[in-house]
A and B are shown apart, each in its own frame.
Chain A
Amino acid sequence: MTIRSHADLKNLREDGISLLRPERPRICVGMATCGLVAGAGAVFEAIREAGKTYGMDIVLVSTGCIGCCQQEPVVDVYMPGLGRVLYARMTSEDGQKLITALSVSEFPGEHALAVIPEAGSVAPKGMGILSRLPLISELPFYAKQHKIILRNSGLINPESIGEYAAVGGYQGLSRALWGLSPREVIDEITRSGLRGLGGGGFPTGKKWEVCSRAAGTARYIICNADEGNPGAYMDRTILESDPYAVIEGMTIGGYAIGASQGYVYVRNEYPLAIKRIRHAIEQSEALGLLGEDILGSGFSFSIDVVRGAGAFVCGEETALIASMEGGLGEPRARPPYPAIKGLWGQPTIINNVKTLASVSAIVAQGADWYAGIGTDGNAETVVFSLVGKIANTGLVEAPLGLTLNEMIHEIGGGGLDGRRVKAVQTGGPAGGCIPADLFHLPIDYSSLSQAASIMRSGGMVVMDEETCMVDVARYFLSFTIEESCGKCTPCREGARHMVEILTRIIEGKAGPGDLAMLEEVALWVKGASLCGLGQTAPNPVLSTLRYFRDEYDAHVNEKRCPSGVCRALIRLAIVPERCTGCGLCLRECPVGAVSGEKKQPHSIDAALCTRCRTCYEICPEGAVEIVR
C-alpha cells in the first residue's frame, strides 16, 4: 500500500484505531530501556504465558516510556467498555494476577497507579476500583506537565505506523506537502517560536531559513541523537517510544529547506533506539511516507541511520559532521555555520530529536497553538530528566516558566527519604549548580543563565545535604575532560589542571592560593576554548564557587568536608551508647578496621579505615557516625 490521498491516510488511521481500541483487552508493557532494566521483559513474558493458560484473547503490546521511570515496570491495561488503568512496579507474579483478574473482567486493585481517561468508557473514571483511583493527570508527577514532544511516548506501539497515524501522526506532513510551500513551512516554524531543544536554543525557523537560502548542490538534514550527558536520556526515550514523530519532523524539515537526504546520527550505545528508528524508516518507506514522491506530492526524501562511536564531543555539530565524513570527531571553528557549509561542504541543518518531534506537532496544529504555550518569549515545552536524590525520578515535559520549586518539590516530590534538597544541577555536565534558595526562579533560558547555569539538554540532577559540592564539581569536570577531544590548549591542559586543584582541595592538601587559581583557570578555559564543550566545562566549578564558597573554604581552611563525603577529611566512629555489638560491621568491613567483643560496643581503627562507609550504611542501629 502506498499513501497518496486523504482516503489512504484515513484508512491507515482507522487501521491504527482498531489496534489501539480493539474489541478485546489490550495490555501495553512499557519496554523502553528504562522499563527493560527494571524487568519489563519478564513481566511481558509472564502476561503472555498467563494469557495462554487462561485461553484469553488479549492484545499484548510493548510500548515505550510513559515518563515515570521511578514506577517501572509500568503496564497499561485497556478493557473495552470498562476503561483503562495504569499499573506500576509490576513483577512477573503481578502480571499473572493481572490476567487472572482480567479473565473475569475485573481490574485488580494491587499496583494500580491511575486511570487513563478513555472516550467511551462508562464513567469518567469508570466503576469499581477505577472510581477510587486518581486520574493520571491528577498525579502530582503529571499534574503540571504538558506533553508535546512526549505526546505519544508510552501510549502507542513504537513499531506500528498505523497507531502513530491514529493519534494524529502525519497530519503535519500531509498539511505541509499538500497545502504549504517550503517557505510557508519555514514561516510557520518561525512564527511558532520554536527554538533548538538540544541546548543551543537557536530559533529553528531562522536556522532553516538561512540553510534554505545558502548556495549548494545538495542540502542535508541531520537529527542529532548523540545524547551523552550523564543522567539525561530523553532523546533515547523518544526514539524508543515514538520514532515516527521524529521521522515526520525530519521529512517536514527536509521539504522546507529543500533536502532530499536526512540522517539520524545516533550513538551506538542505544541499540534499542537504533532498532526502532530503523524499523520505523523501513515501515515509512513501505508506505511511501519516505522515498520517492512522498504522499504523491513530488517531494522525495530518504533517511539513513548513522551510528556514532561513543565520543561525547560528537554531539557538537561540527564534530558530528567531521565524524560522519569519516574524519576524527573534532569540532572546527564556526563560522561558517553548518547551515551554510556543513556535511560534505553543503548547507546542512542539524536539529535535536526533541526539536524534530516538536516540528511534526507544530505543523499539524499550527504555529499559533504552539506560540500560546509557556511564558512570554519562551514558547516551547522542554523535556527534563529529573534524576539524583529526588523522590520521583523520570522524564518530565513542561512549558518553560515553571519554577524550580514546582519541578523539584511538586513534580519531583522533594528530596529522597525526606532529606532536604540543597541544589540542582541543570543542563548536564556543562551546567551549573543552582542553590535551593534560588528555586523560586522560573526555568527558562534567561533565568538559568543569570543563575550561572544553562538549560542545554534538560538534565536535572538533584543534590541533597549529603552531597559535597566540591566533589560534584570535580565529578562533572572529570567527565568533561575524559570526553574532551584534546584539540585546543585551554580545554585539554586547563581542565586537567582544574581537576588537579580540585583533587588537592578534596584531599585536604590545598593551599590558600588554590581557590583563586582555580577560578582564574576556570575563566580562562571558559573564555578561550574552541568549542562549546570547553567553553562550558568550567560551569559546575564556577557556579559552585559562587553559591557554595563556604564549602570550598571549609575544605581549604579547616580541612573539613561539611557534607561528610570527602574521604580524606572525614572519620567514621561508632557511638558506644548506640552500638549493640551485633558484629555486622565487623563482618562486612572490607579492611578489618572494626574490632570488638560480641554484644560489647565495637570501635573503628582510624589508621586502617578507608572511609568506604560500608559500616555507616549497614548499621541497623545507626550507631556509626561520620565525624566531619
Chain B
Amino acid sequence: MKFRREGSLLVLVVLLSLLAMLFDSSFVPDNALDILINGIPTMIIACGVMLVIVTGEIDISVGSLLGLLAAMLGLLSSTVSPGLSVHPYLAILIVLTVGTLIGLGTGCLVVFGKVPSIIATLGLLIALDGVQDWLMGGGDIKHFPQQLRNLGTGTRIPVNLIIAVLVVIGTGLLCRKMAMGRRIYAVGSNPSAARVAGISEAKIKLFVFALTGLLTALAAILWVAKLGNVSTSTGAGLELKVVTCVVVGGVAIRGGRGHLLGVVLAVILITMIRTVLNFMDLGSEAVKWQRAIEGVMILVAVTSDHFTQQQQTGGSA
C-alpha cells in the first residue's frame, strides 16, 4: 500500500480529534483553524528540512537560525530602540536574503567542506544561538509596525496560513512535477546512479540547504508577525520538533524516500497533541507529565511506523 504511513497518520489525527471531542463536543470547528495556524512555522521549515533529509543530509540548525533571523528582523523593523525602524518590507527582504545566504553557507560547508551535515548544522546550532543572544543584547524586542503584524494577525484573512499553504503546495509540486524534485529524490536514493545520470549532487544539495534557509527566514517573519515579540528563547528547540515531524511523516532518515503529505499530517498531529492535552481535564498533577507523555507518543510513532515499514518491504528499511 503506497500511502500506508499517511493512512496511519490520518487515523491518528482522527482518533485524537475524537478523543478531544469527548471533552468538548465542538472541539474540531473551534480549534482546527488555530491548530493549523500554530503549526505554520513548523510546517514551513519542515518543507525545507524534508528535502534536505531526502537528499540524505540533515539540518538541525533551523531553530537557532529562526531565532537569529527573528532577532534580526526585530532589530531592523522595531519602532523602539534599539530598532533601526527600517521599512518593514525592506526588513523582510533583508531577512529573507540573509536566511538564504546562511542556508547556502551551510550547504557549502557540507558540499565543499565535506563536513558531515549533522556536525555542520550542530556547530551552527550552537554558534548561531550565541550570535542571536549577542545581537539581542539583553531584552525582548517588541513594537513591530502594523504592516508586519498584518502578516500574522489583525486582519480578517489569515495571510500567514495562505502563505503556508502556498509553500506546501509549491513544495509538493516541486517534489512531484518538477525535474528538480526528481533529482532531489535521485540524489538521496542512489547517489552514484544519480551521478552517472549527470545530476550534480553538489548543486542539488546546495539548493535544498539554501531553500531551507529561505523557508526558515519566512517562518521567522511569520512567527514574529503572529506573536509580536522576540526573545532570546525564540526558536529554541524548534529543530527537534521539525525533524520529529519529518521523520514521523514517513521521510526515511537515510534519504531518498518520503511524501510531503505525510509530513503535513505529522505537523498537524504533533501540533494538535498539545491542544488536545490542554482540552483534556488533566488536572494539575498530570499536567506536569505533559512533556513525558508527548515523548512517549513520539517514541511510539517513530517505532510503530518502523513495524509497518518492515511488514511492507519485507526487510530492513
Instruction: Please say whether chains A and B are actual partners in one complex.
Output: no
Binding site for B on A (CB under 8 A): none
Residues of chain B at the chain A interface (Cβ within 8 Å): none
